Structure 1
Amino acid sequence: MSIAWYDGIVVGVDGSAESLAALDWAAHAAELHEARLTVVATYGVPIGRDPGVGGLIGEMRDQAGRAAEAARAWLVEHRPEDEDVEVLVTSGDAARELSRRSRTCGLVVVGRRGLGKLDRMVLGSTSSTLAAIAPGAVAVVPAGATTADPRRIRVGVGREDEPDVLGAAFAEADVRGCALEVLHVTSADTYSAVPPELDPVAASWREAATADLADRVARWSEKYPRVTCTIVIRRGNPAPALLSGLTPEDLLVVGGRRHQAVMGRMLRSVPDAVLRAAPCTVLVGHAHRRPSA
């Protein structure tokens, strides 16, 4: 099955084991969605007039070239049938270059390295920066996550999510033949914790929110009747609730709002917190392509 949301997949590689795992995940997704796959290796261009800069640029370009060749070799060995693949070496910051390409493709895929919490907050990483600034959808594949079809897809939804989130989750569950769990997390504040019998207004509000979610899910279920879907409602903090019980064999889909990368990390946005800790691939769906039920 092919959907317009996947009108091309771009994967960033740097020669590391994590980037080759991302390449594996992206190649499989491209096959499932009949999408063109583009492999991109980037190298930075230092700013300055120091005589040694030219040599440094050459070394970085050569390193990117080796990463591209490693990707080609991997594809020949593991996916020789994949003919519609383009491998590019480009200059520029990896996150910025991949973000630029996300404007015209359906999905950008990257691996996730094991940076410490302080490093990730101060220095950032390609995966977290890309997920923060990209206008399109981003999939982040951590080390150890399955690159095959997941055993379960969990999608986190709010009261007013962009259509991309549920639509992407249902489309993935349909094409990958796995169960879908729709998770809605309510606030852990005192108001939401009041027992229904003590506050009929709060109870009525919660019932209306639940009914609205069920209606949205039902509309997507009509479009994807093969998908087995369950709705789970939990109370608490969103990030821990989304991460609870996940394994490397799962796929997590969350919504994202485009913001500055540093502010996103400093403020601990839910997608960023999930990306830093999830043991499985995380798909962050932004609102630049909207499948409709």
Structure 2
Amino acid sequence: MNTTWYRSVTVGVDGSEESLVALDWAARTADAHDTRLTVVSTYATPPEPGPGTSRLVEDARTQAHDALRVAMDRLDGRRPGNRTVQTVALPGTAAHVLAQLSRSSDLVVVARRRLGAFDRALLGSTSSVLAAHTTGAVAVVPEGASGGAPARIRMGAGRSEEPELWTTAFTEAVARGCPLEVLHATGSDPITDAALRRDPSADSWQGVVATAVAGRAARWSARYPGVTCTTTNPPGDAVAALLDGLTPDDLVVVGGNSHWTLTGRLLRSVSGALLRSAPCPVLVVHTHAARQTASDTGTAPESATPPPSPGARRPANLTIAPLHAGNWP
């Protein structure tokens, strides 16, 4: 089974220590998938020219190139993926540039910026903007993430088959050489949990869910026999269940759908909550309901490569964004 579906890894840096942690993660990902690493730094440009703007742009461009030099010093001559590292400085905000790049990227990976609770609630961050608006997958790497291979991958299973999600989780387990834990929480919020407790058929319904998730895991395990896969079906909130017992040595893989960032925060999306709180990298795989047919047929998709969205061309790059790229609504 082919596990090198990332065509390249692109990491955004701004010279900060947090973004260099993302660089380290990107380099390891390039090694794991035997693919190219591209290091990108962005710089702001004024919306309209005016007195002194050319000097401001030049200063910003210089800072971007300085960030690239810091990144190359960090790599210290390494050749991630056994290829020459490419560097590029691009104009624009990190969130906008990387969201545009996601149209032709397999994965956008961003470092998580430290924000206060007020900032997180009202402004969001580059990572939350990208998770909400990119067309492909997004990985968010917190500053304290482990520097080595993950000890385990925990996948949050949804109600449908979500072939992109399952493929990504198993592909990463193969590439990283670690076990996979598939988790499906049987409740989503206090109201739902209370209703289930009052429903005399709740136990049988939860049993059906557990059986369905275990069946999917068994089918996917048959396609990836080298992966040690276990399933759990804890009751209660999905976010709490996914966060329970996580360490910086783990990797979480969850599904998601593109939405306005504010909508995601108001609805308390599972992926959004994990991006803000998980101590380990979180990989959000945008799934496409129109192609969710495997759960109906009881079969896994034929290809180990996540299929492109309808009407979109095949993603080409894996992109990692800088941590300190600013806050965006």
Return the TM-score normalized by structure 2.
0.81
Q: Summarize the Cα distance change of 1:53–1:5 in structure 2 as closer, same or farther, 3 Å threshold.
A: same
| One-letter code aligned to 2:72 | R
Partner of 1:158: 158
Matches within 5 A, 1:132-281: 132-187=132-187, 188-194=192-198, 199-200=200-201, 202-281=202-281
Distance, in Å, in 1 between the alignment partners of 2:20 and 2:230 is 33
Which structure's relative contact order is higher, taking Cα pairs within 8 Å and 6+ residues apart? 2
CA RMSD of aligned residues (A): 2.2
CA deviation profile, 1:25-79 (whole Å, cap 9, x unmatched) = 1111111112222211111112134313222222211111111121222223454
Instruction: Tell me if the contact between 1:246 and 1:280 (Cα under 8 Å) persists in the aligned partners.
Output: yes
CA deviation profile, 1:212-265 (whole Å, cap 9, x unmatched) = 211111111011111111111111111121111101011111111101123223
1:50 aligns with 2:59: no
Report the CA distance between 1:182 and its aligned residue. Answer: 0.6
Secondary structure class of the residue paired with 1:186: coil
Instruction: Tell me if the contact between 2:35 and 2:83 (Cα under 8 Å) persists in the aligned partners.
Output: no
Instruction: Tell me if the contact between 1:108 and 1:137 (Cα under 8 Å) persists in the aligned partners.
Output: yes
Instruction: Tell me if the contact between 2:4 and 2:35 (Cα under 8 Å) persists in the aligned partners.
Output: no
Secondary structure class of the residue paired with 2:245: coil
Partner of 1:89: 89
Report the CA distance between 1:269 and its aligned residue. Answer: 1.5
Distance, in Å, in 2 between the alignment partners of 1:49 and 1:103 is 29
Instruction: Tell me if the contact between 2:31 and 2:81 (Cα under 8 Å) persists in the aligned partners.
Output: no
Secondary structure class of the residue paired with 1:87: strand
Q: Summarize the Cα distance change of 1:100–1:2 in structure 2 as closer, same or farther, 3 Å threshold.
A: farther
Distance, in Å, in 2 between the alignment partners of 1:67 and 1:268 is 34
Distance, in Å, in 1 between the alignment partners of 2:198 and 2:158 is 20
Q: Summarize the Cα distance change of 1:240–1:136 in structure 2 as closer, same or farther, 3 Å threshold.
A: same
Residue identity over aligned pairs, in percent, reads 50
Q: Summarize the Cα distance change of 1:146–1:2 in structure 2 as closer, same or farther, 3 Å threshold.
A: farther
| One-letter code aligned to 1:37 | L
Deviating more after overlay: 38-47 vs 264-273: 264-273
Instruction: Tell me if the contact between 2:110 and 2:127 (Cα under 8 Å) persists in the aligned partners.
Output: yes
Distance, in Å, in 1 between the alignment partners of 2:175 and 2:103 is 24
Partner of 1:292: 301
| One-letter code aligned to 1:53 | T
| One-letter code aligned to 1:168 | T
Distance, in Å, in 2 between the alignment partners of 1:31 and 1:229 is 23
For structure 1, the 5+ residue unaligned runs are none
Aligned length: 289
Secondary structure class of the residue paired with 1:276: helix
Secondary structure class of the residue paired with 2:279: coil
Q: Summarize the Cα distance change of 1:194–1:4 in structure 2 as closer, same or farther, 3 Å threshold.
A: farther
Q: Summarize the Cα distance change of 1:161–1:61 in structure 2 as closer, same or farther, 3 Å threshold.
A: farther
Secondary structure class of the residue paired with 2:184: strand
Instruction: Tell me if the contact between 1:154 and 1:182 (Cα under 8 Å) persists in the aligned partners.
Output: yes
Secondary structure class of the residue paired with 1:206: helix
Instruction: Tell me if the contact between 1:247 and 1:279 (Cα under 8 Å) persists in the aligned partners.
Output: yes
Matches within 5 A, 1:52-67: 52-67=52-67
Distance, in Å, in 1 between the alignment partners of 2:50 and 2:262 is 29
| One-letter code aligned to 2:301 | S
Q: Summarize the Cα distance change of 1:78–1:36 in structure 2 as closer, same or farther, 3 Å threshold.
A: closer
Instruction: Tell me if the contact between 1:2 and 1:32 (Cα under 8 Å) persists in the aligned partners.
Output: no
Return the TM-score normalized by structure 1.
0.91
| One-letter code aligned to 1:292 | P
Q: Summarize the Cα distance change of 1:250–1:178 in structure 2 as closer, same or farther, 3 Å threshold.
A: same
Secondary structure class of the residue paired with 2:76: helix
Distance, in Å, in 2 between the alignment partners of 1:161 and 1:39 is 34
Distance, in Å, in 2 between the alignment partners of 1:89 and 1:82 is 23
Secondary structure class of the residue paired with 2:153: strand
Report the CA distance between 1:2 and its aligned residue. Answer: 4.6
| One-letter code aligned to 2:6 | Y
| One-letter code aligned to 2:111 | G
Distance, in Å, in 1 between the alignment partners of 2:47 and 2:124 is 20
